[in-house]
Amino acid sequence: MKALVTGAGGFVGPHLLAELESVGHTPLGVDFETGPDLLDSAGWVNLIRHTNPDVIYHLAGWSDVGQSWHNPVKTFAVNAQGTLSVLHAAAEGGVKRVLLISSADVYGLVASDSLPITEQTPARPRSPYGVSKQAAEDLGQQFVRGRGLDVVIARPFNHLGPGQRSQFAAAAFASQIAQAELAGGGEVAHGDLSARRDITDVRDVVRAYRMLVDAGSQGEIYNICSGRAVSMSHVLETLVADARVPITTRVDPERLRPIELPILRGSPEKLVAATGWEPRYSLDTTLSDVLSRARHHSKSLSPPNNPAPTNQNGTS
């Protein structure tokens, strides 16, 4: 099967390419350097006609929820209008199936007595990012109804793993710990740690994507999640416990979001029923791998005999 993966140069893309290759598929990855701009509709039509993929995994888009508050117009344009470009090109090019990657952020604030979140939970996004993803979903459903395009929608909850950028909390924690280890000690700056999130390893998530392309139903939405919620304080504590030097922590007001959803916990039952998927990676294994990658990256950036400074802070 020939698969086009948009956003292949991001965090998830390389993991998805590896997953597809592992089962004998032929993936072609494009990103903002090798493919058209997401707002270039004609460019996407030309690309699809030239490459003639069987399926498209549409990963590309704005992924930073926190920064969407500062860039709402760009976030919406990239995620909504960009998705329109890809869907239009897929319909024009006769693509057999499109997996549209949305986000659990579309659910917004859900009361604790309404958990776990299922696909029937009303979508009430509260962030600009969530609104842009809801709009992208609506476009996908319109192409199902109006053009007969075979679109399947995935709503992944939080996912972590090696290679995630330090704009995201766990990767930012790991980056700061790795920098502190090189300096002989240091601190981790963080935002609100009370939020509880349903966290899945990215390698499990991309396997779910591949299985949904094989077994998902046209026009259907599927949560991708573990069914368990852990606090961000637990994530940080687990990483700090694995540190090789003393680590202190402090709240950084710059890392606090205007609105923080207290808890997200989903139900993967629909996904499991359709595909038989189940997670293979524990959270401890995931966090250990994230920290190992951060250590390797920090060593590659640190000049010989010139340790990194103590207070190198990522952005959560």
User: What proportions of the chain, in percent to the nearest 5, are helix, strand and coil?
Assistant: 45, 15, 40
Give, for 160, the enclosing helix (H) or strand (E): strand 158-160
- Model confidence, pTM: 0.91
Asked whether the beta carbons of 66 and 125 are under 8 A apart, the reply is no
Evaluate whether residue 260 is within a structural domain. no
Evaluate whether residue 195 is within a structural domain. no
Q: How far apart are CA 201 and CA 7, in angstroms?
A: 18
Q: How many CA atoms lie within 13 A of 216 on its CB side?
A: 29
User: Which structure tokens are listed for 244?
Assistant: 């090789």
CATH code, domain carrying 118: 3.40.50.720
User: Which structure tokens are listed for 180?
Assistant: 């502190």
Q: Residues with Cβ < 8 Å from 160, sequence gap 6 or more?
A: 168, 170, 171, 199, 200, 201, 202, 286, 287, 290
The predicted-structure confidence for 131-153, as pLDDT tens digits, reads as follows 999 999 999 999 999 999 999 99
Q: Residues with Cβ < 8 Å from 37, sequence gap 6 or more?
A: 43
Evaluate whether residue 87 is within a structural domain. yes
Count how many domains the chain has: 1
Evaluate whether residue 104 is within a structural domain. yes
* Confidence at residue 66, expressed as pLDDT on a 0 to 100 scale: 84
Evaluate whether residue 246 is within a structural domain. no
The predicted-structure confidence for 279-298, as pLDDT tens digits, reads as follows 999 999 999 999 999 999 99
Evaluate whether residue 294 is within a structural domain. no
Binned at pLDDT 50, 70 and 90, residue 257 comes out as confident
Evaluate whether residue 298 is within a structural domain. no
Q: Residues with Cβ < 8 Å from 31, sequence gap 6 or more?
A: 6, 7, 8, 9, 10, 13, 60
Is 306's pLDDT higher than 80?
Answer: no
**What is the amino acid identity at position 286?**
T
Q: Residues with Cβ < 8 Å from 76, sequence gap 6 or more?
A: 128, 131, 132, 135
The predicted-structure confidence for 30-87, as pLDDT tens digits, reads as follows 999 999 999 999 999 999 999 999 999 999 999 988 899 999 999 999 999 999 999 9
Is 304's pLDDT higher than 80?
Answer: no
Q: How far apart are CA 78 and CA 155, in angstroms?
A: 18
* Confidence at residue 104, expressed as pLDDT on a 0 to 100 scale: 96
Q: How far apart are CA 41 and CA 47, in angstroms?
A: 10
Evaluate whether residue 250 is within a structural domain. no
Long-range contacts of 292-300 (CB under 8 A, 24+ apart): 292/162, 293/162, 293/163, 293/174, 294/171, 294/174, 294/175, 294/177, 294/178, 295/178, 295/181, 297/175, 297/178, 298/175, 298/178, 298/179, 298/181, 298/182, 299/178, 299/182
Of 21-30, 164-173, 207-216, 267-276, give the lowest mean pLDDT range: 164-173
* Domain membership of residue 66 as a residue range: 2-159+200-224
Higher pLDDT, 275 or 67: 275
